[in-house]
Amino acid sequence: MTTKFLLPETALPTHWYNVVADLPNPPPPPMGPDGKPVTLDALAAIFPPALIEQEVSAERWLPIPEEVRDIYRLWRPTPLHRARRLEQALGTPAHIYYKNESVSPAGSHKPNTAIAQAYYNKAEGVTRLVTETGAGQWGSALAFAGSLFGIETRVFMVKISYEQKPYRRSFIETFGATVVPSPSRETNAGRAILAADPSSTGSLGIAISEAVEVAATHDDTNYSLGSVLNHVLLHQTVIGQEAIKQMTMAGETPDVVIGCAGGGSNFAGIAFPFLAERLHGRSSTRFLAVEPASCPSLTKGEYRYDFGDTAGSTPLLKMHTLGNGFRPAPIHAGGLRYHGMAPMVSHLYELGFLEAKAYGQNACFDAALAFARTEGIIPAPESSHAIRAAIDEALAAREAGEERVILFNLSGHGYFDMAAYDDYLAGRLVDVEYEPQMEAVAV
């Protein structure tokens, strides 16, 4: 009985997979404030040309540079586990598998794109990168990547996470990066928010505004985004490509592939390579994106053009959005507190290829404990959303008496999130439902 399906380093993917090549039509393009598609020149102020090319590419396979693959080898290929003990505890005939992205240096899937982004920026002579972080995982990943490529990194960290996770800050600083709680007084965007709401706990949208502003006003500085954009989703497809090989080793095809969804990158990373199988008629796998009930962009948001940030300084993206002024409640899954969803994920959702579900945080922590007490890994609060959905799928299989195959992405571990577990164990966690009137914040 195999519990871990392991690939040798020689099986590391050589290319990233671009789902656009297999779709009848690409998602609608980003727009400028004038209502016209943004020019590539406009993006060049904050991104290197290679990433802009990837952003708009229609090629199916994009080569992964050897130097990037060489760094991936530090932790990739990641293991795929069969969660036999969880299956037993649930008494389900379902087979539950999870791809373990928590084994990366930063503890999540985020280095898959951080390494690539740092590589392309370094190749253009960029010496400084600035970014946002919600959970702290993305800031940690970019700090790690910056340290390998000798790039100075500055991270605007959502204030509530900065306060909830002091050791994430220490982690980021250990890799030589600097951390600023957001909203801050360093930027016009941050000062405007603080003037309107001095006690603001921040959001990913605000932190993005601050980081974009710094990048746009400094010639030596580029911006780096940890999710949402096509090139980020693309870099994450190493997850699904490896998982396809590992599921083949297990002799199974997933009936459902599940990922939590903040901006959509880990979900896309595991789902898109499997979706290619379905688009080519080789499987009938379902795909399920899981989001928090308090920030349900896919299940309750509108599909329309909106800004990617709070201050309105990014291009307009066609996506499922709760509105760029939406203030997400300070739930512990900081990486899922984003008002929008990747345009590519939104587009596929509109086309009917994806399903979505939202859960309150207590239900997710219940699932996290069931997983920790059987499989031995304390999951990130973000990943616990995928676990909740996987457990519910396994219970439905038990109800139906069917041996369904469930695969979920364990996007990260929760070892810096113990304050969240403390709150859960002490019964202090509040479930916040989405209220549309919470949108009303002007900056």
Ligand X SMILES: Cc1ncc(COP(=O)(O)O)c(C=O)c1O
Contact yes or no for 398/90 (Cβ under 8 A): yes
User: Which residue's Cβ has the minimum distance to ligand X?
Assistant: 335
- The Cα–Cα gap between 314 and 276 comes to 30
Footprint (CB under 6 A) of ligand X, residues 266-285: 266-267
| Contact positions with ligand X (CB under 6 A) in 204-243 | 227
Asked, as a colleague might, if the bond just before 111 is cis with ω within 30 of 0, I would say no
Q: 381: cis peptide before it, omega within 30°?
A: no
Residues 5-64 that bind ligand X (CB under 6 A): none
What is the amino acid identity at position 194?
Answer: L
Q: Comparing C-alpha atoms, which of 264, 271, 268 is closest to residue 244?
A: 271
Stretch in the footprint of ligand X (CB under 6 A) among 33-41, 147-155, 264-272, 390-398: 264-272
Q: Could you give the C-alpha distances from 262 to 30, 135, 161, 361, in angstroms and in order?
A: 19, 11, 15, 14
x/- map, 135-154, ligand X, by CB under 6 A: x-xx----------------
Nearer to ligand X, 253 or 299 (CB): 299
User: Of the ranges 91-99, 134-142, 355-363, 388-396, which one interacts with ligand X (CB under 6 A)?
Assistant: 134-142
Could you say which DSSP state residue 199 is in?
T
Instruction: Compare residues 221 and 266 and give the one whose CB is closer to ligand X.
Output: 266
- How many residues line the site for ligand X (CB under 6 A)? 21
Does residue number 132 form part of the binding site for ligand X (CB under 6 A)? no
Helix (H, G, I), strand (E, B) or coil at 139: helix
Separation between Cα atoms, residue 122 and residue 145, nearest integer Å:
11
The total number of residues written for the chain in this structure: 443
Part in contact with ligand X (CB under 6 A); list of ranges 57-65, 132-140, 164-172, 187-195: 132-140
Positions 104 through 123 that interact with ligand X (CB under 6 A): 108
Q: Does 382 bind ligand X (CB under 6 A)?
A: yes
Q: How far is the CB of 172 from ligand X (least distance, A)?
A: 13
Taking the complex as a whole, the smallest distance from the CB of residue 88 to ligand X amounts, in Å, to 26
Residues 391-420 that bind ligand X (CB under 6 A): 411-412
* CB-CB contact of 312 with 283 (8 Å): no
User: Is there a cis peptide before residue 273, judged by omega within 30 degrees of 0?
Assistant: no
User: What are the residues binding ligand X (CB under 6 A)?
Assistant: 108, 134-135, 137-138, 227, 260-267, 335-336, 380, 382-383, 411-412
